[in-house]
Amino acid sequence: MAQRDDLISTVPDPDPVMKLDPVPGFEPVIASLCCHYCSYVAADLAGSMRLQYPANIRIIRVPCTGKVDIIHILKAFESGADGVYVSGCEEGSCHFKIGNLLAKKRVYYAKKLIEEIGLEPERLEMFNTAASQGPRFAEVATLMTERIRRLGPSPIPRNVAFVNGEKEYEFVPDN
Amino acid sequence: MILAERKPLAEIIELIGDARKVLVLGCGTCVTVCFAGGSKEVGILASQLRMAASKAGKELEVVEETIERQCEDEFFEGVKEKISDADVVLSLACGVGVQTIAELFPEVVPLPGVNTTSFGRPVEPGVFVEYCAGCGDCLLALTAGICPIARCSKSLLNGPCGGSENGRCEVDPENIPCAWHMIYERLEKLGRLDWLDKISEAKDWSSSASGGVRIDIREDLREIKLES
Amino acid sequence: MKSNSNLEKLLASGKFAVTSELGPPKGTDVAAIEKKAGYLKGKVDAVNITDNQTAIVRMSSIATSKILIDLGLEPVMQMVSRDRNRLAMQSDLFGAYALGIRNVLCLTGDHQKFGNHPQAKGVFDLDSIQMLKMVKAMRDEGKVLCGDEISGGFEMFIGAAANPFGDPFVARVPRLAKKAEAGADFIQTQCIFDMDRFSKWLAGAVDRGLDKKVHILAGVTPLKSAGMANYMNKNVAGINVPEEIIERLKGVAKEKQADEGIKICVEQIQQIKEMKGISGIHLMAIEWEHRVPEILELAGLLPRPVV
């Protein structure tokens, strides 16, 4: 994947996850928190360009990745997501200036929290995608799917998200 | 405010043990401001606990609540039932709050979810620093508002010691500024360096924690119990 | 005479004094003390006995000081404020006097985090300046801190440490003045490598007449190697070894570096001897005590005068 200074991701290079073997027959469910101004537009563009990207991605539009709080990330995992990624604008181009930088800090913190539970921190990542980058959106979606395929299903069963006796949103796989 | 930090999840899970229903009780005052135990943190911890229990194949119901303050009896009115219903109560309040639960609910063993550390303030977002040691005999007037008891690692009254380098304390130069260096700078700016000419006498520690449990009784505020 | 100690008498007579240092064993190994003392006996005027230096547990300075007296040397008992409150300190001082100890050095002490028991509770009931005041009152007024009278005599020659290289620099000479006022009779400085900065500090002290109020002994430490110099630069607060010295050490073969270090030390001593306001040197050769006699010989400081 091409690396530019403003288009970073939290995935290390080289990525140890890609050395693992994919779990046969496993179709991950991945939550993608996309910002309205860049990543969501890129997703739209990928669609209009008829680019193929995995159906495993569940896109959740947020006004800015700076709106994403720790609890949202945890709830995604609690609701059954096998992987989660936050997708914001290029660094320096965030519509709200530093929203994507705040998000990055929170992603790193949330990685520690999910590790405490026993989830691999690699299940959560952050990417930057500009509005014009339809192909990159598809690339990121494919990459995360391939990585989570290798990490295997989340060890959390799918019916865990309760708050005060009420069942919250549940990610349901397509098949 | 009182500063605290959430305990590691592994420790909390061990404290909860085999309980099936846990009430995670947050506090809306000090621990909210230092992001250790407010309603947000209750939500985060509850989510983590549900996931960890589920991963371990354990049944665990996590109830979430936050009250204004856990150091005053009145605020517990609204959560009395939830407290009695739960197998264990995990309080994210400071040590004072946890103990209040023990006093008000004698049949409950309250568990502490945070480590209470000190009195301090957020010097910038995300950075919480100890500022006051509660020595009971405040001498801030002598040092132009910088406390050497709390902010000097050795609580010197005639500092600095030889471990002050580049304005940092050698105990942790990255994070701890030398309090005496700061006092000197401040007094120099104020043109009051002469305040340091006088030797500070040995401190009377009897009003501090080492002198015994501090109890302040104000007769003018005490309850009047009417005889019936 | 405040204490009649050998060190006091020597300094009072205007002679150039030499003190050294001995670290007690990390246990009860008296033979180790005897060995180190053996090198120093007759070569120095008094020997500092460190008190749980760097917060590492060692035999107490009071016990080790007594052992040194029995071996025929004069100790300077160091006392830190990290491990004892005012009760224990005054109690130990009574005991020290009864055992024949007549020199004491009051220090704050390194924070316990640096030692082998970082979980210990640091006491710091008093700081070094309050300690000086306390010991002086015990000696000159015959009273303990709370005002009660001491039964029996108490004579002590009181020392303090000074760091000409600490920060902030503006505080250093006023701090020395405070120690003198509090009760220090003599001062031992942190080991000197930066002669320039030291001279500035000394000039400041002499300006205020502090060299007349306290006897200043300049600290020197021989460097064993370039590696040791680098280590001290990085890890020991308040010590700055100038580049030229490190280069000098690097310039010779590894086996010759220790000898070069001794040479540098001797040169430093000779420079210090000429400085106005200096009453002597404090030679700290930790774990290198066996080379102390050689250093002093080369520096022209042997034999030691007898008073």
C235: confidence class by pLDDT, cuts 50, 70, 90: confident
At A54, the amino acid letter reads P
β-strand B114-124 against B2-6: which pairing, if any? antiparallel
Report the pLDDT averaged over residues A108-136: 96
Residue with tokens 């006699």: C293
- For CA atoms B181, B187, B193, B196, the dihedral sign is negative
CA-based nearest distance C192→chain B, Å: 14
Contact B44 A70 (CB under 8 A): yes
Q: Tell me, what's the pLDDT at B106?
A: 93
Report the pLDDT value the prediction gives residue A5, as an integer from 0 to 100.
Answer: 61
Q: What is the ipTM of this complex?
A: 0.89
Confidence of residue C243 (pLDDT cuts 50, 70, 90): confident
User: Where are the strands (E) in A111-175, listed by range?
Assistant: 124-128, 162-163, 166-167
Interface probe for A, chosen from B54, B63, B127 (most Cβ of A below 10 Å), is: B54
**Closest residue of A to B13, CA-based?**
A117
Contacts of B205 (CB under 8 A, 6+ apart): B135, B211, C125
User: What's the pLDDT at B81?
Assistant: 96
pLDDT above 80: residue B138: yes
The residue among A94, A85, A92, A84 whose CA lies nearest residue A38 is: A94
Q: Please state, in angstroms and rounded to a whole number, the distance separating the CA atoms of residues A45 and A36.
A: 13
Question: How confident is the model over A31-86, as pLDDT tens digits?
Answer: 999 999 999 999 999 999 999 999 999 999 999 999 999 999 999 999 889 999 99
This prediction's pTM? 0.89
Report the candidate in A39, A31, A139, A13 with the shortest Cα–Cα distance to residue A93: A39
DSSP characters for B40-52?
HHHHHHHHHHHHH
What pairs with residue B40 in β-bridges?
none
Tell me, yes or no, whether C307 lies in a domain.
no
Closest CA to B63 of B26, B110, B108, B12: B26
Note whether B159 contacts C: Cβ–Cβ < 8 A. yes
CATH code of the domain containing C72: 3.20.20.220
- For residue C42, what are the contacts with CB-CB under 8 A and spacing of at least 6? C303, C304
What pLDDT score was predicted for residue A82?
95
Q: In terms of residue numbers, what domain contains C207?
A: 6-298
Q: Which chains touch A (3 or more CB pairs under 8 A)?
A: B
Asked if the Cβ–Cβ distance from C129 to B161 is below 8 Å, we say no
Which residue, among A73, A74, A167, would best test binding to B if mutated, counting the most B CBs under 10 Å from its CB?
A74
- Show which subunits contact C, needing at least 3 CB pairs below 8 angstroms: B
Closest CB from B48, B62, B64 relative to A117: B48
CATH of the domain at A117: 3.40.50
Domains and CATH numbers, chain B: 2-117 (3.40.50), 134-200 (no CATH)
User: How far apart are the CA of C182 and the nearest CA of chain B, in angstroms?
Assistant: 8
pLDDT band (50, 70, 90) for residue B49:
very high
In chain A, the number of structural domains is: 1
Q: Hey, is the C-beta of B43 within 8 angstroms of any chain A C-beta?
A: yes
At C195, list the tokens.
Answer: 């002669």
Does B63 sit within 8 Å of A116, measured CB to CB?
no
pLDDT in tens, A88-118: 999 899 999 999 999 999 999 999 999 999 9
Q: Which of A70, A73, A114, A116 to mutate to test the interface with B (most CBs of B within 10 A)?
A: A116
Q: Among A71, A117, A119, whose Cβ lies nearest the Cβ of B43?
A: A71
Nearest to C166 among B155, B160, B196 (CB): B160
Q: Using 50, 70 and 90 to split pLDDT, how confident is the model at C237?
A: low
Contact between B197 and C238 using a beta-carbon 8 Å cutoff: no
What CA–CA distance (Å, rounded) separates C279 from C218? 8
- Domain of A98? 28-152
Q: Is B187 on the interface with C (CB under 8 A)?
A: no
Asked, for residue C304, whether it belongs to a domain, the answer is: no
In chain A, residues 31-50 whose CB comes closer than 8 Å to chain B = none
Q: What is the pLDDT of residue A146?
A: 96
Q: Are residues A3 and A13 in contact, defined by beta-carbon separation less than 8 angstroms?
A: yes
In chain C, how many domains are there? 1
Q: Tell whether the model's pLDDT for residue A3 goes beyond 70.
A: no
Q: What percentage of chain B exceeds 90 in pLDDT?
A: 88
Per the domain annotation, does C269 fall within a domain? yes
The amino acid at residue B58 is K
- The reply to whether A17 falls in a domain is no
pLDDT band, residue A175 (cuts 50/70/90): very low
C13-42: average pLDDT: 96
Query: What mean pLDDT do residues C87-98 have?
Result: 98
